[in-house]
């Protein structure tokens, strides 16, 4: 039973619950959040979302407002990504859904084209190992086989020829990123696209993180979007560098048939005729309205300004990183995402372990993202890294961030990396996550590809299990970094 409470006490409780989160504003969290640093935009997004709270996005013929907003967002996104009038698409709930739908469209078209061919086998997806896990998830959900093409461990770059060699008769879709998330480096889109077009194999460009950044990034000269013939679909997230609140992304297709293959429609039940463009049925229009409002308020020049600010901050951080010995940036990041590894040209006594760096920088009030080492199909290993996603507000805290990176690196330089600890999984289940994450990450890194997902699922499921009191000791209230909440 739940006793009814006054609105004031409900809101009070929510405020207290929220206070345990790390700060979503102010540039202290260098992943997950994309802060434009303009409070009036947050206010606008909140008002737009409130206006659309009662609307059901399930049926844009009933709620015509939903169709207007979606059509206009698609048109704006298409213009930014150099799509002509043959490019159409949908607004989705996020990058994962955009990627999933692009795979679904390609799979259904491949299956239709191979109908009645007993030799056809299963549809096949080709992607670099740096591609977002949303595509592995899509292959898993939708029944495609996969080839993960290894990238160069020192640069994070995938070779165009290696991608093309993995393409075969049953390839339903090839995926490349602009840029990839782990290292922020670009894939060879302009090199791969023409050869795929010749073979009539579709190419999806995952610009979930880059789509609202690269068009204005200073010095960005690579062509990667619909300007490249052979690019057949693109995903780009409004809730990242589009600065919309979470729950908004766009997937675009060259050709209306590709877009239509994304839909699911049926009349095989006694209820209303069903037509779902995306995964959900009833869906909120709040994120759509908020995203529409933010893009209108910023306009093209607003995005250009925010990108300038982000690029300014990125240049400062990269310059500082190049002066910190024992660390090195992986490859050539194209924009505001980058990863630092232990400098392979230094002796261990002078190296900075990225996991130790993440903990040391966290104690100084900034949250970097630890990325475990990864063994590729060809036996090569991508290094463990600390990932930074820089945003416009980074520009306000560059000095503090650089100081934290320098001091953090100085503190841990030469320390030997923490070893994996087989007892840790049990301890985390009982006590919650410790403040020091390096041993946890080292343990996860050492697990095989069956044990690691099991441990992760166990952890995440127990976090929300009503019958498990998770993490009563360890990381608790007030353990997060200081700053604006
Ligand atoms: C964020 C991201 C995704 C997935 O997006 P979600 O919005 O987190 O579902 C896909 N690809 C890349 C490159 C991304 O950065």
Beta bridge partners of 338: 388
DSSP calls for 380-423: -EEPPEEEEE--TTHHHHHHHHHHHHHHHHHHHTTPPPPPP-TT
Per-residue pLDDT band for 472 (boundaries 50, 70, 90) equals low
Binned at pLDDT 50, 70 and 90, residue 81 comes out as very high
| Structural domains of the chain, count | 1
Domain annotation covers residue 278: yes
Residue 477 has pLDDT above 80, yes or no: no
Least confident of 40-44, 98-102, 366-370, 464-468: 464-468
Q: What is the pLDDT of residue 484?
A: 41
Share of the chain above pLDDT 90, in %: 87
What is the Å distance from ligand 1's center to 146 Cα? 19
Q: Give yes or no for residue 478 having a pLDDT over 80.
A: no
From the alpha carbon of 209, which atom of ligand 1 is closest? 15
Contact 252, 22 (CB under 8 A): no
Cβ(181) – ligand 1 distance below 6 Å: yes
Rounded to whole angstroms, the Cα distance separating 234 from 224 reads: 10
CA of 4 to the centre of ligand 1 (A): 39
Lowest-confidence pick of 6-10, 264-268, 465-469: 465-469
pLDDT score recorded for residue 252: 99
Distance from the Cα of residue 314 to its chain's centroid: 18
**Least confident residue range of 24-38, 98-112, 261-275:** 24-38
pLDDT digits (tens, 9 = 90+) for 196-226: 999 999 999 999 999 999 999 999 989 999 9
List the CATH number of the domain containing 128: 3.40.640.10
128 has pLDDT over 50: yes
Quote the CA–CA distance of 314 and 392 in Å, as a whole number: 9
The answer to whether residue 84 is domain-embedded is: yes
- The answer to whether residue 396 is domain-embedded is no
State the Cα–Cα distance between residues 290 and 287, nearest whole angstrom: 5
Ligand 1 pocket, residue 134 CB under 6 Å: yes
Model pLDDT, residue 468: 80
H or E element in which residue 276 lies: strand 274-276
Report how far residue 432's alpha carbon sits from residue 435's, in angstroms, rounded to the nearest whole number: 10
| 440-460: b (≥16 Cβ within 10 Å) or e | bbbbbbebeeeeeeebeeebe
pLDDT of residue 429: 79
Residue 463 pLDDT: 87
Q: Tens digits of per-residue pLDDT, 408-452?
A: 999 999 999 999 988 888 888 788 888 899 999 999 999 998 999
Reported confidence tier of residue 476, pLDDT bands at 50, 70, 90: very low
370, pLDDT greater than 90 = yes
95 in ligand 1 pocket by Cβ < 6 Å? yes
Is the CB of residue 35 below 6 angstroms from any atom belonging to ligand 1?
no
Percentage, residues of the chain above pLDDT 70: 97
User: Three-class SS of residue 83?
Assistant: coil
Range of the domain at 138: 47-294
pLDDT > 60? residue 341: yes
Atom of ligand 1 nearest to the CA of 237: 7
**CB-ligand 1 contact for 132 (6 Å cutoff):** yes
- Nearest CA residue ID for atom 15, ligand 1: 209
- In terms of DSSP bridges, do strands 337-342 and 327-329 run parallel, antiparallel, or are they unpaired? antiparallel
Inside any domain, residue 415 = no
Q: Does the CB atom of residue 234 touch ligand 1 within 6 A?
A: no
pLDDT the model gives residue 202: 98
User: First and final CA of the chain: distance in angstroms?
Assistant: 32
C-alpha 421 – ligand 1 centre gap (Å): 31
| Torsional class of 188: left (φ above 0), alpha (ψ -120 to 50), beta (otherwise) | beta
Per-residue pLDDT reduced to its tens digit, 60-69 = 888 999 999 9
Q: Residue 176: CA atoms inside 13 Å, Cβ hemisphere, count?
A: 27
Q: How far apart are CA 285 and CA 361, in angstroms?
A: 38
DSSP H or E run through 146: strand 145-149
Residue 92 Cα to ligand 1 midpoint, Å, equals 12
Which atom belonging to ligand 1 lies closest to the Cα atom of 239? Answer: 7
Q: Whose CA is nearest to atom 3 of ligand 1?
A: 95
Please report whether residue 413 resides in a domain. Answer: no
DSSP annotation string for 180-230: -TTT-PPP-HHHHHHHHHHHT--EEEE-TTTTTTGGG-TT-----STTSTT
Summary mean pLDDT of the chain: 94
Q: Is 346 exposed, middle or buried (0-12, 13-18, 19+ CB in 10 A)?
A: middle
* 299 in any annotated domain: no
The answer to whether residue 360 is domain-embedded is no
Residue 16 maps to a domain: no
What confidence tier does 483 reach under pLDDT thresholds 50, 70, 90?
Answer: very low
């Amino acid at each position: 039973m739940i006793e009814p409470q006054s609105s004031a006490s409900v809101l009070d409780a929510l405020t207290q619950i929220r206070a345990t989160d790390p700060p979503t504003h102010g540039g202290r969290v260098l992943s997950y959040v994309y802060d434009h640093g303009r409070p009036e935009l947050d206010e606008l997004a909140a008002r737009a979302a409130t206006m659309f709270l009662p609307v059901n996005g399930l049926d844009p013929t009933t709620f015509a407002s939903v169709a207007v907003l979606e059509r206009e967002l698609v048109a704006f996104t298409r213009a930014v990504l150099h799509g002509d009038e043959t490019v159409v698409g949908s607004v989705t709930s996020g990058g994962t859904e955009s990627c999933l739908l692009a795979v679904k469209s390609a799979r259904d078209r491949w299956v239709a084209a191979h109908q009645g061919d007993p030799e056809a086998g299963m549809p096949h997806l080709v992607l670099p190992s740096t591609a977002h896990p949303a595509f592995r998830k899509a292959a898993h959900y939708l029944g495609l086989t996969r080839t993960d093409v290894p990238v160069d461990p020192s640069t994070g770059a995938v070779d165009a020829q290696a991608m093309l060699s993995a393409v075969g008769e049953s390839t339903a879709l090839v995926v490349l990123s602009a840029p990839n998330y782990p290292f922020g480096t670009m894939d060879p889109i302009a090199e791969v696209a023409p050869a795929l077009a010749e073979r009539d194999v579709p190419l999806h460009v995952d610009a979930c993180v880059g789509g609202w950044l690269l068009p204005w990034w200073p010095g960005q000269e690579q062509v990667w979007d619909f300007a490249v013939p052979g690019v057949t679909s693109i995903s780009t997230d409004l809730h990242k560098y589009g600065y919309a609140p979470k729950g908004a992304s766009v997937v675009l297709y060259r050709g209306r048939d590709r877009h239509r293959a994304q839909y699911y429609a049926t009349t095989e039940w006694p209820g209303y005729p069903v037509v779902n463009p995306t995964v959900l049925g009833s869906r909120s229009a709040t994120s759509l309205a908020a995203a529409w409002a933010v893009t209108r308020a910023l306009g093209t020049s607003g995005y250009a300004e925010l990108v300038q600010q982000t690029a300014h901050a990125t240049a400062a951080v990269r310059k500082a990183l190049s002066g910190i010995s024992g660390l090195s940036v992986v490859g050539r990041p194209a924009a505001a995402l980058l990863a630092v590894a232990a400098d392979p040209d230094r002796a261990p006594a002078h190296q900075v372990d990225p996991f130790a760096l993440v903990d040391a920088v966290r104690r100084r009030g900034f949250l970097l993202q630890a990325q475990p080492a990864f063994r590729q199909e060809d036996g090569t290993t991508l290094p463990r890294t600390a990932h930074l996603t820089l945003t416009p507000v980074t520009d306000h805290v560059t000095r503090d961030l650089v100081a934290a990176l320098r001091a953090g690196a100085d503190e841990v330089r030469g320390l030997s990396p923490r070893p994996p600890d087989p007892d840790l999984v049990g301890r985390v289940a009982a006590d919650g996550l410790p403040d020091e994450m390096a041993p946890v990450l080292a343990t996860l890194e050492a697990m095989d590809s069956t044990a690691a997902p099991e441990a992760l699922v166990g952890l995440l499921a127990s976090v929300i299990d009503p019958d498990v009191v998770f993490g009563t000791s360890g990381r608790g209230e007030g353990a997060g970094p200081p700053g604006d909440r």
